[in-house]
Amino acid sequence: GRYIGGRRYRGNRKGFSLIIHRMMDDIVEILTGEKGIFCTQIAFVSNRTGNKEIYSMDPDGENLEPITRNGSINLSPSWSPDGRRILFTCFRRRNPDLYEIHLPTGRVRLVSSAVGLNAAGVYSPDGRRIALMMRGKEGTDIFAISPNGKRKEKIVGGWANEASPTWSPDGTKIAFVSDRRGTPQIYVKDLRKGTVSCVTFEGGYNCSPAWSPKGDWIAYAGRVGGRFQIFVVRPDGSEVRMLTEGDADHEDPTWAPDGRHIAYCCNRRGNYDVYIMTLQGGGPWRITSMKGDETEPAWSPRIFR
């Protein structure tokens, strides 16, 4: 055989799985030139206890940890760029408010509490802004706020319902869902130019956009024959590809930081579980098997460096 590299790893028994994950990522990088997905986590919503709480786990389904334990409804987890915080929407005050939890300490802070709606919060790639859905004059609009919630700017809005924002990797564009043409479709807004373009033209219901970390694809869920499937499309609306099939709903796509793997939820076994597949057709692999439904997966950046 040929020697391809060497590195020494240190740690104790408690950190053994972390050492293995780092080792596997290094092997993938040596073989492919890019880091693997082992030093990442996936957050998701589960109703396994009767309440909708947020959990996290490794991409192989190991190391399950609760993130919220407030006994309320918790939705739409989303990671900060440094992987140390998670945004989520919670109804603990009988209003869908946006919160942030600092994972190293468990400290939770209120980010936005506008009356009516504060949902689907996502950090910009530089961490300086948060895009989220809020109640507008005629429907739901998309706003950008500062992380402390003090500065607010409408970035997409009008008479229609605008929802589910996702940033481009360079932070200059945002993809979102709008029913401005009658049915939910995926649009892209150039935040510098102010231009808006539709990128989905097939199907009557397309939602849940997720911009690839490489910037080359937008994943989304589209309804076909009464079932939701996972698609990808180029940001200019070209080259649409359907990645899933079958008599089940496939929803809420989220990208791994390598831009090659996608996690999503699917109810092919009755309840919703989280699955992983590759952009090139590998998988799917089921990574949850708990009681109840596991939905809204959110893939972290690389958090163990």
CATH number of the domain at 291, please: 2.120.10.30
Q: Are residues 143 and 79 in the same domain?
A: yes
Q: Are residues 148 and 188 in the same domain?
A: yes
In a domain, 270, yes or no: yes
Contact (Cβ atoms closer than 8 angstroms) between residue 77 and residue 60: no
Residue 124 has a pLDDT of: 98
Q: Are residues 224 and 115 in the same domain?
A: yes
Q: Are residues 9 and 89 in the same domain?
A: no
The two beta strands, 294-299 and 227-233, are unpaired
Residue 3 has a pLDDT of: 45
Q: Are residues 16 and 114 in the same domain?
A: no
Q: Are residues 153 and 203 in the same domain?
A: yes
In a domain, 236, yes or no: yes
Give me 159's structure tokens.
């008479």
Amino acid at 76: S
Terminal-to-terminal C-alpha distance of the chain: 29
Angle subtended at Cα 177 by Cα 152 and Cα 250, rounded to the nearest 5 degrees: 125
Q: How many CB atoms lie within 10 A of CB 13?
A: 6
Q: Are residues 118 and 251 in the same domain?
A: yes
In a domain, 234, yes or no: yes
Residue 305 has a pLDDT of: 43
Give me 90's structure tokens.
């919670």
Residue 217 has a pLDDT of: 99
Q: Are residues 76 and 15 in the same domain?
A: no
Q: Are residues 2 and 151 in the same domain?
A: no
Residue 113 has a pLDDT of: 96
Domain that holds residue 10: 1-36
Q: Are residues 19 and 84 in the same domain?
A: no
In a domain, 305, yes or no: no
Q: Are residues 155 and 292 in the same domain?
A: yes
Tokens 């400290």 correspond to 107
Q: Are residues 245 and 195 in the same domain?
A: yes
User: For the whole model, what pTM was predicted?
Assistant: 0.91
Q: Bridge-partner residues for 76, per DSSP? A: none
Cα torsion 64, 66, 67, 73 to 10°: value is 120
Number of domains in the chain: 2
In a domain, 219, yes or no: yes
In a domain, 304, yes or no: no
Residue 173 has a pLDDT of: 99
All residue ranges of the chain with pLDDT < 50 are 3-4, 14, 305
